[in-house]
Amino acid sequence: RLFAQEQATKITQFDTKDLQARITELYNKLVTKIPYQGLVLSRNGTRVTLNLGKRDGVTKDQIVSAVQIIKLNRHPKFGFIINTEKEILGKIKLQKVEDTLSFGGIITEKEKGVIKKHTKISGVDFVEYADAPGFKGYEGEREALEKPGNQIAFGKNPEEWKPVRPATFGQVALELGLGSYTANSSITDGTTTRNPAINNPLVFSLRLSSELWVTPQWLLEGELRQSVFSISNPRAGSSPGTLNYSVNKYSLMAGYNFLIRNGEFFGPKVSLLAGFTQFASYVDDANPPILVSTSYRGFTMGLKGSFPIDQNQEWKLGAKFYMVFSPSISESPYKLGNTSTNTMTWYALFGSKRIGQRLEVTGTLDFELYSSSYTGTGTLPTGERGVSASQRITTLAGGIAYLF
């Protein structure tokens, strides 16, 4: 398998001297990627011979390390070594150095006889850094002192540092929304058809949602949303002229997470959800009436996916889609028809930004549609019957989530 690799690209000069210099540069870089510099050629007691000499940069009285490579981390596609994990077996002090060989004595070893022929040698070339700045004004100190939740035991007013436990049980979120509500319906008395419509472009809503993580795969999810506003009576001559209106939605679901990246819970995942949903709209009674309060409910199936968009997994985006199968409807105080065919569908885009170990800022854009088509006469006192009705809600919400 490929052991190490070094490449040069965008070469524009082909002079022999320049190519020789480039090849030398590539070779030197390639050699540094080999995880050891030499080998033990022989051992007699505590005396050893190494295949390193003056040409390799070692000197008399230098101390080198005898190591064992315990793990190779290779590139997943090309197979060359990215880095290694080593264990130090002992130390060797060089006592005589020739051009290509050196002789030394073992001064320490992990176990007696663990350093032997073909043991690898490392630590010939020390890692060098630029001049270290003084501690005064050191950026790392200021960052450590100012970082929330990571107080350390020096500086002004020191206190004991305690690690914050990561969230493992679930989360609860509170969001304030601003959106629009549109309701259209069609009713007829057999000769005349009325199409009362409601369009309120400014509706405030409050939503409370929660998740309970039973296991990394299984979860419970709940949501409660409430909106209250006023509308103008869409029927001429009907009283009162202004009607109070409220819209509520409740849902409780169980789900299963498909963790996409190595079982990482906070990484990309897709969730399959199933449960119960109820949507209700309530309106004041009027005389003569034209609007009725409705309540949709039914078994819900949903699909939700989310993925982080940065390396630190602080930003996250996602989408979700829900559909209710064979939903039922109840109406009060009157019914627009004897029987009805109903649909309930909604989908959403959402995102979040982690602002602490336990806190996230959240945002959601929801689109909801509830509709019915009627047959039969209904119970409106005006003798009219419903033909169709629909309600559409669009909400942009933002808030904060607490993970526990």
Separation CA 32–CA 22 (nearest Å): 16
Dihedrals φ, ψ of 67, to 5°? -130, 160
| Residue pair 68/87 in contact by the 8 Å Cβ criterion | yes
Three-state SS sequence of 39-88: EEEEEECCEEEECCCHHHCCCCCCEEEEEEEEEEEECCCCCCEEEEEEEE
d(CA 86, CA 72): 9
> How many Å apart are CA 63 and CA 60, to the nearest integer?
9
Give CA–CA dist 188/196, Å, rounded. Answer: 11
CA–CA separation, 124 and 299 (whole Å): 70
Radius of gyration of the CA atoms of the chain, in A: 36
What's the CA gap between 332 and 292, in Å, rounded? 6
Running DSSP on this structure, what letter comes out for residue 356? S
What pLDDT is recorded for position 239?
A: 92
d(CA 357, CA 218): 22
Going from the C-alpha of 13 to that of each of 8, 16, 24, 107, 183, the distances in angstroms are: 12, 9, 15, 51, 73
The pLDDT value recorded for residue 371 is: 95
- Pick from 380, 288, 264: which is nearest to 332 by CA? 380
| pTM for the full predicted model | 0.61
pLDDT in the model for residue 268: 93
Q: What's phi and psi for 127, nearest 5 deg? A: -75, 130
Q: Which residues share a beta bridge with 174?
A: 208, 400
- Paired tokens of 82: 């990215």
Q: What local confidence, expressed as pLDDT, does residue 153 receive?
A: 53
Mean pLDDT by 10 residues, the chain (404 residues): 78 79 86 87 95 91 92 79 87 94 94 93 72 53 53 59 74 96 92 90 95 93 95 90 94 94 86 96 92 95 94 91 94 91 95 91 96 91 92 96 93
Asked whether 93 and 107 are in contact (CB, 8 A), the reply is: yes
